[in-house]
Amino acid sequence: FLAERHSIRDTRTPMGGSKKANLSAVSPVLRVWRRKHNQENGNVENITFDYQCVTSLPDMGYLLDLVDDTNPLFISRGNAHLKNSRTHNINFNTWNSKALHMQNYGINITWSQTSNAVASTTTYDRATGVTTYMPRNINGNWVFNVGGNVSRTIDKKDRLGVNDRMSFSYNHNVDYITETVDGIATPQRSTVHNYTVSKDLEIGYSYKKYKVTLKGGVKWRIQNSSRDNFINLNAVDMQYGISSNG
């Protein structure tokens, strides 16, 4: 359970305002954990599941229902109607280890979603040349990640080993952008889809205190949106190398 009280006062002008806000919310946390250790062969199995819900207040400065027109061409407005944001986080992880050939493998999955996130909106009036900024709530932001890894030796003397990792992530990003409608630039909802796929592989050989490792990796990024004038991204980044401690 969370209970907070915040207050702020604007002293820039005699007409400055003040704002008080209370935050009381139940922030549930759930954790399920299982671990199994085989004493005979040394194998270990781990499974964890975590859930957390976090509630937070907007920046108190945003909640002041005031207009800052110190610069008449750039006006900043508060928004006393901003809502508290809430983020749900889920994490699932499974990890296993076997003594034979030093095997390790696991999978990790995460998901996060935020409601009532705070975004900045911009309105530009060409007739007057005035730009107005104001914070607003927005929904639709969420992120998903999944990854896995496998590592082990592949020879009888456990000198030659491999480490293989792969992951995928998706970011559903929602924000406001400025679009011109009937000569007035107004905030419009924008959605950008971000995809990332990565693959990394290491092959190493160890002998006594010496070790040589070959490394290689590739990352594929895609970014697209249906909005006008958006430049889509489709890029591949590759890297490789060798390292040695001898």
Q: 3-class SS at 58?
A: coil
Count H helices and E strands in the chain, helices first: 1, 15
- Which range (4-8, 109-113, 144-148) has the least confidence? 4-8
Q: What pLDDT, in 10s, does the model give residues 10-24?
A: 555 555 555 555 556
- What mean pLDDT comes out for the span 104-128? 91
- What mean pLDDT comes out for the span 136-159? 95
DSSP H or E stretch at residue 61: helix 60-63
- Measured in degrees and rounded to the nearest 5, phi and psi for residue 154 equal -125, 10
Residue 232 sits at the vertex; the CA angle it makes with 229 and 236, to the nearest 5 degrees, is: 160
- Which range (60-64, 96-100, 214-218) has the least confidence? 60-64
Percent of the chain's residues with pLDDT above 90: 52
Name the pTM for this structure: 0.82
Ramachandran quadrant class, 140 (left: phi over 0; alpha: psi -120 to 50; beta: rest): left
Q: What pLDDT, in 10s, does the model give residues 64-102?
A: 777 888 888 989 888 888 898 999 999 999 999 998 888
CA 245 to chain centre: 35
pLDDT at 141 over 90: yes
- What mean pLDDT comes out for the span 161-189? 86
* Mean predicted lDDT score pLDDT of the chain: 87
